[in-house]
Amino acid sequence: MERRRRVGGWGFEGESFPPSAELLAWLEERVGPPEHSLPSAAAPPPAIPPRPLPGLPFPVSVDPLDRLAHARGQALPDLVRLRTGRVPALPDGVARPDSADQVEVALAACSREGVRVVPWGGGTSVTGGVNQLPSDRPSLVLDLERLAGLAALDRHSGLATFGAGTAGPALEAALTAAGLTLGHFPQSFELSTVGGWVVTRSSGQESLGYGRIEDMVAGLELVAPAGRLRLQALPASAAGPDLRHLVMGSEGRLGVVTSATLRVRPRPASTAVEAALVADLGRGLDAVHELVTGGVPLTVVRLSDPAETRVAMAVGLASSRAAGLVRAWLRLRRQGEGSCLLLYGTSGDPETVRTVLGCARSVIRRHRGTILGRNPGRHWQRDRFRHPYLREGLLDLGFATDTLETATPWSAVAGTRERVAEAIASALDGEGERVAVLCHVSHPYRDGASLYFTFFFRTAGDADRTVARWATCKRAATRTVAAAGATLSHHHGVGSHHAPWYEAEVGPLGREIVATAARLLDPGGILNPHVLLGPVDRLEE
Amino acid sequence: MERRRRVGGWGFEGESFPPSAELLAWLEERVGPPEHSLPSAAAPPPAIPPRPLPGLPFPVSVDPLDRLAHARGQALPDLVRLRTGRVPALPDGVARPDSADQVEVALAACSREGVRVVPWGGGTSVTGGVNQLPSDRPSLVLDLERLAGLAALDRHSGLATFGAGTAGPALEAALTAAGLTLGHFPQSFELSTVGGWVVTRSSGQESLGYGRIEDMVAGLELVAPAGRLRLQALPASAAGPDLRHLVMGSEGRLGVVTSATLRVRPRPASTAVEAALVADLGRGLDAVHELVTGGVPLTVVRLSDPAETRVAMAVGLASSRAAGLVRAWLRLRRQGEGSCLLLYGTSGDPETVRTVLGCARSVIRRHRGTILGRNPGRHWQRDRFRHPYLREGLLDLGFATDTLETATPWSAVAGTRERVAEAIASALDGEGERVAVLCHVSHPYRDGASLYFTFFFRTAGDADRTVARWATCKRAATRTVAAAGATLSHHHGVGSHHAPWYEAEVGPLGREIVATAARLLDPGGILNPHVLLGPVDRLEE
């Protein structure tokens, strides 16, 4: 039985991840009791009649629910607007091309008639990357779901070519049948697609072992209004700039990625994730730094700060034996308040996994960590794609939550975490609201790591005010990130949310290089015009 | 005592690597006895008076020898032209800026007056990347040798910032003092520079362990006529296209790289390279494939084809005990004619090195290889930066030699080697000359490997005819590489030699993207105008 995507919320209908009583108690303590609950399903927006679109040699849906389902991504303001019927614009139609040729035809027709085009993969952008915003020009969504599946497999070279609309589970199923894996497991894995991964520079939870999507893309095809760019699969090249890296991160602004040739690997026999507790964040960071620079071949490393550690226990471990152990340990040690949860895991044949985890344990013990064993890791593995559902249950009750992330060299990790967390925590002081902030360090590299923040506040009485609270937090965080010289995004992209700060990261000349490429590839400026290069702050739209 | 660069040949004055009698005998057998020797030093070219250059606030040299020393790179035609005084153009001056500001001033002045600028690092391009060609516009070389040295070290993040003009030995010396290494060891290591590595996507001989220069660049600064592009050091980012990858490979066409922040590592206690013989190329390729995809953490893997194996023995092992062993082995085994030399090595603490080499040995033995031990590897390590001198001694005698390389997915490695080698070997059939071709597979990746070809032929009676022979070989090879869908270059760049085929690799739209960026960054088109985007075949100029 095929699962149906939920409109106006994360994931599939019927799925949920209800907040535990412990989490709710913690939230009430941190931000106060909720005051305004939200409708739990998408409310019908005011009727917006579809405007005429160019004729295409394949069907274009103008079904109201289809249009609503393709109006917004999955950031908090998107959910709030969808649930309250306050969506300011809908696409005028949704086209589902089944080939690169059909994409080309659609782009030509839309270029001719000045119709905006938003390429659509899994629709999971949390940075306003696929949002419809009001415009005089009509808008067509190109949903790539029919451009899916394994198109070619070169087993000896470890290269698999997939249609851009292939979602995570279908991709891994096709590879599993051949004894292979891509190893790309972003939290959005069940919904997001190859094309979306490529154009947002996605990074999966096991990136320490398998690399980011950039490391996996050997070749790709981009269809733009100005023509096609086919970059053949190559292990490496010194033949000029690497144009794959211009397409990767282009967020639908330079063209539509129609397929990608990805580096795949033999499927590991087993994956195991363990947990440890370290006495404080400083020691945890030292342990992670040593694990990564020392070359212990882990695929996952994730260190929660003290606040996230408490919440992780309240959310994920509530029902497990491990939680009992952890609480006992916390009682035992007086410094428990500052303790940090460290997850670390690897993949391979069972013996390799045992050896590698053994190495990791000895590093962690050297940093005075206490090994908790596999139970917390098993919970994390089981629930890791379900965590986004938690947000839906919290919104039902009147707690708003969203996430943002950055990355920075090791020397700046601790300081950036502190400054960004403080900026978010105090963002709503002006209106007397509190914000709770959690953070974890993950995706470590030899030269730095990412910082992933989750923040919570109470929803306001109406959608616009709730979105305004969110925007205030987001602006405070992004300003602080940019001032710290950290990146606007480690794996969520620029979208429309970060676009006003894009120049702060790459400079005016850097922005102009990308804008010039966009003018060349899309002379009519029809492609996803609000993302990446749009200088206007559209957080509240 | 500082060593002086030789003008008109590789490296430093007084250094040489004379061809052994065995090598000469092999060459005579393969291409015939030499007919025309070449002068062994640079001949003074016809006097070309320097044209006026814009005034700059730092000295510009118009010394004839300085101009000659900055007229050409190090490809075979460059050496032939320099040795015979047949250099068609000289730069009108050589400027040595000592800061990014001075580079900026020079670019502004040259843009204003329409003076061409060739950025110069080590001058070791073997693809016509720094060549002076006749033009109505004057030409200034920006030699970056004063923009050198360690500018900043962030030890905790493993990041070191170097001036673009820093050459390999100075870079490693600065890092060694801090217990660190970059691990980037191209054959040109003693001469080439950080800036040159970055703009040509250089790859060192230990790239299997340390990665390509692309993997090492965390941040950089580019000074262009249109302004500066400063990309801060980040471990990773999803904030739009990665503009580092537009600068990397830009070959001086988009601006002058003035500094780069590189990912460095603790200096390993030891490095060891061993050798084995495998019965034929097919088995050797299978062994290399298994070593790499099986994750044996080697830093060097290099598999010579049967012809290169014979030459390697004649050149490098002539005087070693190992050579005796090898010859004995060859006599012993009747299939010796097809045997292939496999070098494999790694770095780390001695115990790790022992363990890793042990793993490698067991893989190689499974492919019926015979382990030769460390002697051949020691020779290779000792001589690896001296091999280019060999070409000088051969030219003295009347044998011309050059190299070219490509990379392709594993499935195409064997076929591409065969077709390219055959194309080169038969290139001069029309004029009754024979060409000897050697090849090795190196720089292996999970999804493919590079193929490195060395070819030999007899010099003709005059410079132009010798260059024409070389160009005929080069065209035959490049046509075949492009038709095979392999890359024009794995680590030598496009330069002016491959520029006519650049569009075959990235398509017309890909080429136009880079050309558009060049027009934005360098509106006057002053920067290194013949490389990368020049469509005209200039092999014989």
Give residue B376's pLDDT. 84
What is the spatial distance between Cα B4 and Cα A532, in angstroms, rounded to a whole number?
50
**ipTM of this predicted complex?**
0.96
Give residue A314's pLDDT. 74
Contacts of B408 in chain A (CB under 8 A): 234-235
- Joined together, the tokens standing for residue B291 give 């070593």
A82 band by pLDDT with thresholds 50, 70 and 90 = very high
A380 band by pLDDT with thresholds 50, 70 and 90 = confident
Nearest partner of B116 among B148, B138, B99, judged by Cα? B138
How many Å is the maximal CA-CA distance in chain B? 71
What is the spatial distance between Cα A168 and Cα A196, in angstroms, rounded to a whole number?
11
User: A238 and B494 in contact by Cβ < 8 A?
Assistant: yes
What is the spatial distance between Cα B464 and Cα A480, in angstroms, rounded to a whole number?
62
Is residue A44 over pLDDT 90? no
Query: Residues near A497 by Cβ (< 8 Å), separated by ≥ 6?
Result: A75, A127, A128, A474, A478, A538, A539
- Rounded to a whole number of angstroms, the distance from the CA of B109 to the nearest CA of chain A is 20
What is the spatial distance between Cα B189 and Cα B166, in angstroms, rounded to a whole number?
11
- Joined together, the tokens standing for residue B196 give 């040159």
Give residue B11's pLDDT. 95
What is the spatial distance between Cα B125 and Cα B187, in angstroms, rounded to a whole number?
12
Contacts of A261 in chain B (CB under 8 A): none
Contacts of A246 in chain B (CB under 8 A): 241-242, 245-246, 513
Mean pLDDT of A149-153: 98
- Rounded to a whole number of angstroms, the distance from the CA of A151 to the nearest CA of chain B is 17
CB-nearest to A492 from B228, B238, B246 is B238
User: A236 and B445 in contact by Cβ < 8 A?
Assistant: yes
Query: Residues near A21 by Cβ (< 8 Å), separated by ≥ 6?
Result: none
Query: Residues near A15 by Cβ (< 8 Å), separated by ≥ 6?
Result: A3, A6, A386, A389
Q: How many CA atoms, within 13 angstroms, populate the side-chain half-sphere of residue B49?
A: 2
- Write down the residue that tokens 């939920």 correspond to: A6
CB-nearest to B239 from A157, A266, A487 is A487
For residue A225, give the DSSP letter: T
Nearest partner of A297 among A337, A349, A235, judged by Cα? A349
Query: Residues near A382 by Cβ (< 8 Å), separated by ≥ 6?
Result: none
Give residue A317's pLDDT. 54
Query: Residues near B362 by Cβ (< 8 Å), separated by ≥ 6?
Result: none
Q: Which three-class secondary structure state does DSSP give residue B116?
A: strand
Q: Which three-class secondary structure state does DSSP give residue B347?
A: strand
Residue-wise pLDDT tens digits, A479-505: 999 999 999 999 999 999 999 999 999
CB-nearest to B239 from A263, A445, A494 is A494
User: A238 and B490 in contact by Cβ < 8 A?
Assistant: yes
CB-nearest to A516 from B412, B492, B517 is B517
- Rounded to a whole number of angstroms, the distance from the CA of B319 to the nearest CA of chain A is 36
User: A212 and B409 in contact by Cβ < 8 A?
Assistant: no
Give residue A335's pLDDT. 52
Pseudo-torsion of CA B520, B523, B529, B533, nearest 10°? 30
- Rounded to a whole number of angstroms, the distance from the CA of A25 to the nearest CA of chain B is 35
User: To which H or E segment does residue B94 belong?
Assistant: strand B93-95
Give me the DSSP letters along B220-261. Answer: EEEEETTEEEEE---S---SSS-THHHHTT-TTSS-EEEEEE
Give me the DSSP letters along A305-365. Answer: -HHHHHHHHHHHSTTSHHHHHHHHHHHHSGGGGG-EEEEEEEEESHHHHHHHHHHHHHHHH
How far is residue A314 CA from its own chain's centroid?
A: 23
Nearest partner of A375 among A332, A331, A318, judged by Cα? A318
Give residue B313's pLDDT. 78
User: B487 and A237 in contact by Cβ < 8 A?
Assistant: yes
Candidates B244, B513, B516: best to mutate against A (most CBs of A within 10 A) is: B513
User: To which H or E segment does residue A174 belong?
Assistant: helix A168-176
- List Cα–Cα distances, A156 to A151, A263, A268, in angstroms: 16, 11, 17
User: B487 and A238 in contact by Cβ < 8 A?
Assistant: yes
Q: What are phi and psi of A131, to 5 degrees?
A: -75, 140
b or e along B134-152 (b: 16 or more beta carbons within 10 Å of the residue's beta carbon)? eeeebbbbbbbbebbebee
User: B448 and A235 in contact by Cβ < 8 A?
Assistant: yes
How far is residue A48 CA from its own chain's centroid?
A: 30
Contacts of A296 in chain B (CB under 8 A): none
Q: How many CA atoms, within 13 angstroms, populate the side-chain half-sphere of residue B352?
A: 15
Query: Residues near A432 by Cβ (< 8 Å), separated by ≥ 6?
Result: none
Mean pLDDT of A359-385: 92
- Rounded to a whole number of angstroms, the distance from the CA of B284 to the nearest CA of chain A is 15
* Per-residue pLDDT tens digits of chain B, which is 541 residues long: 578 999 989 999 999 999 988 899 999 999 999 999 888 877 887 789 999 999 999 999 999 999 999 999 999 999 999 999 999 999 999 999 999 999 999 999 999 999 999 999 999 999 999 999 999 999 999 999 999 999 999 999 999 999 999 999 999 999 999 999 999 999 999 999 999 999 999 999 999 999 999 999 999 999 999 999 999 999 999 999 999 999 999 999 999 999 999 999 999 999 999 999 999 999 999 999 999 999 899 999 999 999 999 888 777 654 555 566 666 566 545 556 899 999 999 999 999 999 999 999 999 999 999 999 998 888 888 888 998 999 999 999 999 999 999 999 999 999 999 999 999 999 999 999 999 999 999 999 999 999 999 999 999 989 999 999 999 999 999 999 999 999 999 999 999 999 999 999 999 999 999 999 999 999 999 999 999 998 899 999 9
- Rounded to a whole number of angstroms, the distance from the CA of A83 to the nearest CA of chain B is 29
How many CB pairs below 8 Å do chains A and B form together? 273
- Rounded to a whole number of angstroms, the distance from the CA of B412 to the nearest CA of chain A is 9
Nearest partner of B263 among B178, B184, B347, B334, judged by Cα? B184
Q: Is A307 or B318 the better-scoring residue by pLDDT? A: A307
Nearest partner of A114 among A443, A524, A504, judged by Cα? A524
Contacts of B216 in chain A (CB under 8 A): none
CB-nearest to A239 from B245, B266, B498 is B498
Give residue A491's pLDDT. 97
Q: What are phi and psi of B14, to 5 degrees?
A: 90, -15
User: B410 and A247 in contact by Cβ < 8 A?
Assistant: no
How far is residue B203 CA from its own chain's centroid?
A: 8
Nearest partner of B78 among B38, B109, B48, B108, judged by Cα? B38
- Rounded to a whole number of angstroms, the distance from the CA of A332 to the nearest CA of chain B is 33
Contacts of B200 in chain A (CB under 8 A): 238
What is the spatial distance between Cα A325 and Cα A312, in angstroms, rounded to a whole number?
14
User: A487 and B234 in contact by Cβ < 8 A?
Assistant: yes
Nearest CA in chain A to B231: A506
A321 band by pLDDT with thresholds 50, 70 and 90 = low
Q: Please state whether beta strands A139-143 and A116-120 pair in parallel, antiparallel, or not at all (unpaired).
A: parallel
Q: In what order do the strands lie in the sheet with B116-120?
A: B60-61, B93-95, B139-143, B116-120
What is the spatial distance between Cα B451 and Cα B445, in angstroms, rounded to a whole number?
12
Nearest CA in chain A to B234: A408
Residue B128 backbone class (left: φ over 0; alpha: ψ -120 to 50; beta: rest): left
Give residue A45's pLDDT. 79
Alpha helices in B177-320 (DSSP H): 194-200, 207-210, 213-216, 244-247, 281-293, 306-316
For residue B119, give the DSSP letter: E
Which amino acid belongs to residue B37? S
Give the start-end residues of each E strand in A363-398: 370-373
For residue B164, give the DSSP letter: T
Contact indicator for A484, A409 with CB cutoff of 8 Å: no
Query: Residues near A240 by Cβ (< 8 Å), separated by ≥ 6?
Result: B249, B250, B251, B493, B494, B502, B505, B506, B514, B532
Burial class (CB in 10 A: 0-12, 13-18, 19+), B355: middle
Contact indicator for B360, B291 with CB cutoff of 8 Å: yes
